[in-house]
Amino acid sequence: MTKISILGSTGSIGQNCLEVISRSKNKWDVVGLSAGRNRELFRKQVTEFNPKIISLEREEDVAEFRREYPESSAEIFHGQEGAEAVARYDESDIVLSAITGINGLRPTLGAVQSGKRVALANKESLVVAGPLILETAERTGSQIIPVDSEHSGVFQCLAKEEKNHVKKVILTASGGPFFHVSAEEMKNKTLDEALNHPRWKMGKKVTIDSATLMNKGLELIEARWLFDLEPEQLDMLIHPQSIVHSLVEMRDGSVLAQLSPTDMKIPIQYALTYPDREEALLPSLDLSQVRALEFYEIDEKKFPLVKLAREALETGGSLPVVLNTANEVAVEAFIEGKIPFSDIAEIVTETVENHKTRKIGGLEEIFDIDRETKLKTRNLIDQR
């Protein structure tokens, strides 16, 4: 049996992964789980899968969990150190990295340093530390398989292609809940409206990023490192049907595309079973029912964070860290009702424009920049 640990097991990706595993339990052994504060769901997962090592976000949650679930024989940890312990667990063959945001960086790097196969759903790790993670993977033999549907699509298209055959990689975006809304109308959209995604069911942070299209901007930066591409080789299109997840234009003019139903279980299953393919968990894609596949250019005046992400992609250095952190803080403030929707882009833009880009010396400098940026971004929010 293949042994797997899941970082972020109570999030949408983690839950989908456990559903994939539960349909073929004779092939998988869940040996590690880490989660945030959803103790009720986490307890159900621990009861069903009986992992050997687990981690919760807070120390008090660990004590409470021990009282509620005394029969568990699992090693129990908490916080970043706990998530890293799960990521590095000796028995794991595969680590699914699905912790949201920069909090997923240390555990992801820990799994890579341990030489695990990493099924990567934490895009922020490559956004802020792409060179470090890939250099580490080359040294340890860790294999990184993307889980995001767009990057999974590119990975599949390029599986048997030479890098020098690739002219351009195009990621698709659904357009989010506000694709058909004017820029003026977007300014005062509510949290409920922003979370009403037309195609995907995701966590709050990722869903808000989809509404601003920052999610796609971060994915461009991630793709640069995943596939060793130059910034000018990366592009994106809005594709409301979310059937074509990515396109790869070859230098001979051919365009390869990966299509599948809109469901994260498909790229998750592929990342876990690669290079094999298991039987489908979903009904086949019926293009006669889809009828139309539409593609649109992105209006960067309406979605200014896309342009900002391109700048970070091309500039590199510390700028992607600042972009990512400022966005995390601004999105959190919107979710908490501290700022209107339109302020997300304005605050992130101001933070990025005020930053003087520098080279990054290592992991700790990334976290120093993250702390500095959080402070500056929160000050901007307080001033409003």
Interatomic CA distance for residues 22 and 18, integer angstroms: 6
pLDDT of residue 67: 84
Q: Which of 95, 116, 146 is the last residue of a domain?
A: 146
Q: How many CA atoms lie within 13 A of 221 on its CB side?
A: 33
pLDDT of residue 220: 97
User: Do 65 and 88 form a contact (C-beta atoms < 8 A)?
Assistant: no
pLDDT of residue 65: 85
308: confidence class by pLDDT, cuts 50, 70, 90: very high
* Of the candidate ranges 153-157, 186-190, 270-274, the one whose mean pLDDT is the lowest: 186-190
Quote the number of domains for the chain: 3
**Residue 174 located in a structural domain:** yes
**Is 128's pLDDT higher than 80?**
yes
Same-domain pairing of 131 and 255: no
Same-domain pairing of 244 and 221: yes
Q: Measured between alpha carbons, how far apart are the two ends of the chain, in Å?
A: 55
**Residue 23 located in a structural domain:** yes
Name residue 122's amino acid: N
Name residue 233's amino acid: Q
**Residue 89 located in a structural domain:** yes
Signed CA dihedral, 84, 209, 132, 360: sign only: negative
Q: What are phi and psi of 277, to 5 degrees?
A: -130, 125
Same-domain pairing of 181 and 86: no
Same-domain pairing of 106 and 233: no
**Residue 175 located in a structural domain:** yes
66: confidence class by pLDDT, cuts 50, 70, 90: confident
* Of the candidate ranges 64-73, 239-248, 356-365, the one whose mean pLDDT is the lowest: 64-73
**Residue 277 located in a structural domain:** no
Same-domain pairing of 186 and 74: no
**Is 71's pLDDT higher than 80?**
no
**Is 97's pLDDT higher than 90?**
yes
Across the strands, what pairs with 170?
Answer: 235, 247
**Residue 310 located in a structural domain:** no
89: confidence class by pLDDT, cuts 50, 70, 90: very high
Same-domain pairing of 48 and 72: yes
Task: Pull the structure tokens for residue 233.
Answer: 């080789």
pLDDT by residue (tens digit) across 326-338?
999 999 999 999 9
Name residue 129's amino acid: A
**Is 198's pLDDT higher than 90?**
no
User: Do 191 and 334 form a contact (C-beta atoms < 8 A)?
Assistant: yes
Same-domain pairing of 64 and 128: yes
Same-domain pairing of 169 and 247: yes
Same-domain pairing of 250 and 111: no
**Is 199's pLDDT higher than 90?**
no
Interatomic CA distance for residues 81 and 88, integer angstroms: 10
Q: Which of 302, 327, 360 is the last residue of a domain?
A: 302
**Residue 337 located in a structural domain:** yes
On average, the pLDDT of the chain sits at: 94
Mean pLDDT across the stretch 3-11? 97
**Residue 135 located in a structural domain:** yes
pLDDT of residue 280: 87
Q: Which of 243, 271, 302 is the last residue of a domain?
A: 302
pLDDT of residue 380: 95
Same-domain pairing of 166 and 53: no
User: Do 247 and 170 form a contact (C-beta atoms < 8 A)?
Assistant: yes
Same-domain pairing of 167 and 200: yes
pLDDT of residue 73: 84
User: Do 184 and 175 form a contact (C-beta atoms < 8 A)?
Assistant: no
SS3 102: helix
SS3 31: strand
SS3 310: helix
pLDDT of residue 201: 78
**How large is the greatest C-alpha to C-alpha distance in the chain, in angstroms?**
63
Domain with residue 88: its CATH number is: 3.40.50.720
* Of the candidate ranges 185-189, 238-242, 267-271, 338-342, the one whose mean pLDDT is the lowest: 185-189
The residue segments making up the domain with residue 339 are: 316-384
Same-domain pairing of 139 and 156: no
Interatomic CA distance for residues 177 and 181, integer angstroms: 8
Domain with residue 327: its CATH number is: 1.10.1740.10
